Amino acid sequence: MNPPLDTHRNHRGAPRIGYVLKVYPRFSETFIVTEILAREAQGEDLSIYALRPTTDARFHSEIARVAARVNWVGRPNRAIDLWSQLTAGLTCQEDRERFAAIMPVLAELPGDVVAQGVELARQARRDSITHLHAHFASLAGRVAWIASALTGIPYTVTTHAKDIFHESVDPVWLRRICADAQRVIAISRYNEDYLKTVLAGTGATVSLRYNALELDRFSYRAPQPVSATRAEPLRVCAVGRLVPKKGFADLVEAVRILVSSGIDVEVELAGDGDERERLTEQIERLGLADRIRLLGPLTQAEVRELLARSDVFAAPCIEAADGNIDGLPTVVLEAMACGTPVVATAVSGLPEVVHDGVTGILLPPGDPASLAVALRGIAQGEVDIVALSRGARALIEEQFDSRAQAAVLAAWQSGPVPASGVRLADQEGAA
């Protein structure tokens, strides 16, 4: 559907990349900041377009290193403001004709989303953006799609988890966004395979590119072997938003099993979210308040300190009742980079990095008893955690260096626009 135009190169001919994000900065989306920093380090010219203001009270120090200008894309709340924003962005006949051409599908969207798409188009032109890059094929993807349809500026989209797996996903819009994108980026092979299935027949180009780490910030330290005779408890940590897909209720139950069998264990759980009250009640009901501490949200520096003082990192992820699952939690990669042994469940992309017995311990999801057995084995010195740690660090260095990620993204987003494939709108029965 997007016109195959590429008329928005700046006068110097250098690419200018516009990042389209729902919220910036967002405390939980450290992977985006890492990606931006790596691209800026290699000399790329970036701008950020944020669709919603942040509500976070704390920020990672790394955000201060981002040089890209942050542009707020206005979101009208009143009908008169919506109309004003539309008319301000559709100032020439060509723009109005393009807008009219996509009106049938825009009618499916809330008015404020449409207005933000028009405003993004105006700002991208103003800033001589040559390529738009959206993170998440939901709100950001829809707004980028509108802006691209109005300007001819190509876009790519990185898909993650909730934007493709959740019950709220609109399959028509997912297919539309991905079909018209120059490239759809999947953050795991699991996601790549899933997208190739749900996007079959759209002509979408789906490519794997893992989220990555700024390795200089994650110094490796081999763990101290755990002995069954040591006096200290097994120190377990977990990090993530307190939401069902993280499986933290299973971790609490695993601790109950361990304590009841005489294993001395302590857990520090970092993060916040809707499940905090429920988890607190579960911990207190099971009499584990002296065993499990809820730390609240931590900065990346504080997470690194947590990892350094822990014997093992637990990622008991599950598929939530609403279909939501993790893509590939960045904090798992951080633990592996730091040398903290990882115990994780075989959900989505986790088996791609946690190779059982080589880079960590991999377990079935939703099975607290298996998690307890794995942690007991570590506590009793039955697992060579040093070997697991070294294997994990080697994998991270090989596949998850943000410098390599930045180089690949730059190559994908700065080259010539490929010839358009079959568009979703051109297919029988498609939207």
pLDDT exceeds cutoff 50 at 398: yes
Give the pLDDT confidence of 204-218 residue by residue, as tens digits.
Answer: 999 999 999 999 999
Looking at the structure of the chain, the number of domains it has is 2
Task: Indicate if 338 and 381 belong to the same structural domain.
Answer: yes
Is-contact 75 112, C-beta < 8 A? yes
Give the pLDDT confidence of 139-158 residue by residue, as tens digits.
Answer: 999 999 999 999 999 999 99
Q: What is the CATH number of the domain that holds 391?
A: 3.40.50.2000
Residue type, 290: D
pLDDT exceeds cutoff 50 at 3: no
Per DSSP, the three-state class of 77 is coil
Q: What is the pLDDT of residue 250?
A: 98
Its pTM stands at: 0.90
Who wins on pLDDT, 244 or 429? 244
Q: Where are the beta strands (DSSP E) in 242-373?
A: 265-270, 292-296, 312-315, 342-345, 361-363
Classify residue 1: in a domain, yes or no: no
Mean pLDDT of the residues in the chain = 92
Who wins on pLDDT, 419 or 340? 340
Per DSSP, the three-state class of 345 is strand
Task: Indicate if 416 and 342 belong to the same structural domain.
Answer: no
Task: Indicate if 172 and 272 belong to the same structural domain.
Answer: no
Instruction: Please state, for a pLDDT cut of 70, what percent of the chain lies above it.
Output: 93
pLDDT exceeds cutoff 80 at 24: yes
Task: Indicate if 92 and 25 belong to the same structural domain.
Answer: yes
Residues β-bridged to residue 431: none
Average pLDDT over residues 46-73: 92
Residue 419 banded pLDDT, cuts 50, 70, 90: very low
pLDDT exceeds cutoff 90 at 13: no
Residue 427 banded pLDDT, cuts 50, 70, 90: very low
* Residue-wise burial string across 259-289, b where 16 or more C-beta atoms lie within 10 A, e elsewhere: beeebebbbbbbbbeebbeebeebbeebebe
pLDDT exceeds cutoff 70 at 127: yes
Average pLDDT over residues 30-54: 96
Q: What is the pLDDT of residue 27?
A: 86
Range of the domain at 76: 16-212+402-426
Is-contact 211 35, C-beta < 8 A? yes
Give the pLDDT confidence of 274-302 residue by residue, as tens digits.
Answer: 999 999 999 999 999 999 999 999 999 99
Closest residue by Cα to residue 314 from 381, 272, 265: 265
Q: In a 10 Å sphere around its CB, with 0-12 CB exposed, 13-18 middle and 19+ buried, how is residue 228 labelled?
A: exposed
Task: Indicate if 24 and 168 belong to the same structural domain.
Answer: yes
pLDDT exceeds cutoff 60 at 346: yes
Q: Where are the beta strands (DSSP E) in 112-218?
A: 131-135, 155-158, 183-186, 206-208
Task: Indicate if 169 and 305 belong to the same structural domain.
Answer: no
pLDDT exceeds cutoff 80 at 9: no
Task: Indicate if 408 and 390 belong to the same structural domain.
Answer: no
Classify residue 331: in a domain, yes or no: yes
Task: Indicate if 154 and 223 belong to the same structural domain.
Answer: no
Is-contact 299 60, C-beta < 8 A? yes
Task: Indicate if 117 and 265 belong to the same structural domain.
Answer: no
Give the pLDDT confidence of 214-239 residue by residue, as tens digits.
Answer: 999 999 999 988 887 788 999 999 99
